[in-house]
Amino acid sequence: MGLMKRLLAAGVIAAASGLQAMAAGPDLADWTNVEKAASGQTVYFNAWGGSENINAYLEWVGTEMRARYGVTVVQVKLDDTASAVAKVIAEKAAGKDEGGSVDLIWINGENFVSMKKQGLLLTPGWAGSLPNWRYVDVENQPTILTDFTEPTEGLESPWGGAKMVFFHDSARTEASALPDNANQLLDWAKKNPGRFSYPAPPDFIGSSFLKQVLSEVIEDPAKLAEPVTEESFERDVEPLFAYLDQLHPVAWRSGKTFPQNYPDMKQKLADGELDIIFAFNPSEASAGIKAGELPDTVRSFTFSGGTLGNTHFVAIPYNANAKEGALLMANFLISPEAQLRKQDPTYWGDPTVLAMPKLPEPDRAAFAALDLGVATLAPDKLGPVIAEPHASWMERIEVEWRRRYASGN
């Protein structure tokens, strides 16, 4: 990790000095030629390898790529995406601007920002020129065009998403009584004291809840797309902490202590201690039911005005050896067929980045017929996506949260 951090730092310095590595990609206007050039190439796809079902899905993708296009896909299994970024930085430092070892990377967030700012990505922006881009849901999923507030500018292509979804036990809580926004959730909690809570930050799920509330109650939501302004920070977040000051006295254990994490909330829902919980994957409730961890009466709901979400992408390094093969694979990953299989919990259960109304009728019907699990909402029922705020917001909010509440006051 020490070497990796030094390489990343060196890349940042190089970028700051204007030493951008630029490489024009293939002509996507001639897709037939892209397919011809890709035939016989091997795409080294650097991707997180910690899930058996995801690895199996990628094996299927490799089989299809070989059969359809004569492209071989090799998954380079990673523990940390930053290691793939470090490879590209090292190759750039060594002057290896062609024939790189990384052809495609599963990426988002800070790793994308790092590669973009260091000029390590294939240019110009190519994602919007992929043939299957016409199906992508850019209208309702803004995180497809802005990755943790950083404009993607076509330098990465989406292939899956994550979204905050709430769960309740329909045997105890009527659907008609469920809240539809953060303020209604607060009202519900006041009427049902002790039946809702959230994990204390910096737990990811707990921090996500704070970001959801902040996105709804801040006076100017557009500020969240920019770094925190210290001069106005306290004023900007005052509505969030006013909300929490009202929530905690009526929360589980009166806000004196908090659930440990999502599995802890899940157990409390199963035990009847909590009536509403939430997760960052729409399939979590169905998975819990299937595993016998939740009663089969648990169901999902979301807010009609939107809930927090993000998108994960694939990107092509500037010096990729198999640029055409990587483009072909990125395009296949957003095909209705590949997205349908990925959304199927039998194979993965990852939310689609496609817009159902844009699909041909047979594909819409296939998505509609997909058995997502008894408690999983259909893609068109998940509601709009609220983009992640700039990372600086959560850093400052977590500090302020600890100052106010960590002692249990």
348-380 per-position pLDDT tens digit:
888 899 999 999 999 999 999 999 899 999 878
Q: Mean of the per-residue pLDDT values for the chain?
A: 91
Domain that holds residue 337: 2-159+311-377
Where residue 260 sits, what CATH number does that domain have? 3.40.190.10
208-224 per-position pLDDT tens digit:
999 999 999 999 999 99
* Domain count across the chain: 2
pLDDT of residue 16: 37
Looking at the domain assignment, is residue 255 inside a domain?
yes
DSSP 352: P
Looking at the domain assignment, is residue 382 inside a domain?
no
Looking at the domain assignment, is residue 383 inside a domain?
no
Q: Is the same domain home to 122 and 240?
A: no
Contact of 105 with 47, CB cutoff 8 Å? yes
Provide the H-helix boundaries in 17-76: 31-38, 52-69
Q: Which residues contact 142 (CB under 8 A, 6 or more apart)?
A: 385, 387
Q: Greatest CA span in the chain, whole angstroms?
A: 66
pLDDT value at 9 more than 50 = no
Torsion angle in degrees (nearest 10) through CA of 320, 57, 162, 316: 10
Q: Is the same domain home to 254 and 399?
A: yes
116-137 per-position pLDDT tens digit:
999 999 999 999 999 999 999 9
Q: Is the same domain home to 239 and 270?
A: yes
